[in-house]
Amino acid sequence: MKQNLFEFDAAGLTAWFAGMDEKPFRARQVLRWLHQFGERDFERMTDVARHLRACLAERAEARLPRVLRDAAAADGTRKWLLDVGEGNGVESVFIPEAHRGTLCISTQAGCALDCAFCSTGKQGFNRNLTAGEIIGQLWVAKQALDDFRGPSRPAEADGVSARVISNVVLMGMGEPLANFEHVLTALRLMLDDNAYGLSRRRVTVSTSGIVPAIDRLRDACPVALAVSLHAPSDALRDQLMPINRKYPLAELMAACRRYLEKSPRDFITFEYVMLDGVNDSEAQARDLIRLVRDVPCKFNLIPFNPFPATAFRRSSAQRVRRFADILMQAHIITTTRKARGEDIDAACGQLAGQVRDRTQRQQRAPHSRHHAIAIAETLS
């Protein structure tokens, strides 16, 4: 079976070439062709020695997930459904804005964490994505958006302002830190100047709060960190996010403080989905202020995006504004995420793709709906 070169970061590709008695600079050459120039045909890698091109054609391939669907929303948001085999499809989303373009990519086929308000989690879980399937989402998006610069374009022209995709967030399907090694390889490619050359500040990993993996990321590859918080107390977060029962809020806040020691940004972003009557009261906003008092942070409030069979409702705009006002009065930077791509189900929490569920969670979906109703009734 041929080796898929998209599975390698620089160190991995260098080691693979060393096994062929090739010099390290060959790895840098091939990385540039694959990830900077978007070239998958080895014969067209013109500065690579002819004997090596022939060897690559025999022993290697540049295999990507196949695009099953490419949908564009009225607001310019674009979503791709990608085939990762065995009946599984993952989704990635490009969000254009005035001064940046953000690509949201997936790290797992489904998700094992079963957060009560998330469409992806309700589909169940099949497997982790490989590094090639993760970085392949970035490659596919860059090709579709004509964002590869080509070998003849001078490197100095490839500044952030010249890029269509300037930011990457690992906020799609799955929990990135539950797929640590493959995510780490993909992150290293995103940051590599011979590959995508993104700044650490412009690559964000979003996690539900797997504390040991947050510490590992800090030491191995610190990028911007976003934490899915969604509740100000352990009692409520236990119900909304089962991972909290293993890593409660006190441990999570301590991990955030440790992460800031090496973070490229001087704050943690806390994501907070606004659920009507569940986590959006003024008292809960004040509880949040007490919770994060020792963690430099900003909040990103996310209006809940409904999906089929959910019992949760979106908080009213007035309630979201009041919640944000309380946080800002405590001098916490707070933004409210604008819903994007709702007409193609590309908004936050709506990514579902296709998952051949091996957790049998889909068969338990009615229980999940009753659980959501019970949470709302308990707090009403």
Residues catalogued as catalytic: 91, 348
Q: 125, 154, 124, 136: which is closest to 92 by C-alpha?
A: 136
